[in-house]
Structure 1
Amino acid sequence: SPAAMMGMVRVWDLATGRPVGEPITGHTDRVLAVATGVVESRLVAVTGSDNKTVRVWDLATSQQVGPELVFPAAVHAVAVTSDGRLVVGFGCEVAVLAPS
């Protein structure tokens, strides 16, 4: 059911069209934005949610990297720059965060 899938992110194998591993869970509301990239030599997925949070996931382990990042409004866009910065669109604002 859609309610049961709330907050889940799935990784898909594009060659087979099948999901890889178990869903990544952690958000407590709809995931509105997803991006992939390399942060600190680690392949990651970055997810943004209606619950005003951004989470970074290690794609090799499906584990969250660091704490969730909290913003003042729902997160509608995320991106990872070539130098590992996170770009987050929330409400009518944009933030650029450098890796720690």
Structure 2
Amino acid sequence: MQRLLWVLWPSFIVAGVAEGLFFTVVNPQELYLFGEPVHFSTLATLSIGFLAFWAICAGSSLFTCFLQKTPGEINGRGCGQPPASPAAR
């Protein structure tokens, strides 16, 4: 649970900053998606934008947590355990 909070809380903060910077430059009513204008309300566009930024930031943080793991943690072996034999694979 603690690792999940390590990922979601900072990504929430960064998503808020990213959304603020993005929508300071871009008007939500002038957005185009796949060549078509977006016909959502301003609040809906801002909400969807925030959730998209949050998902991208959370994915980046999860990838960082994954890269911090040792090979033993990834393969399901704890520290100090011998490597699995080739026959067990």
TM-score normalised by length of structure 1: 0.20
Greater strand proportion? 1
Larger Rg: 2
TM-score normalised by length of structure 2: 0.21
Higher relative contact order (CA closer than 8 Å, sequence separation 6+): 2
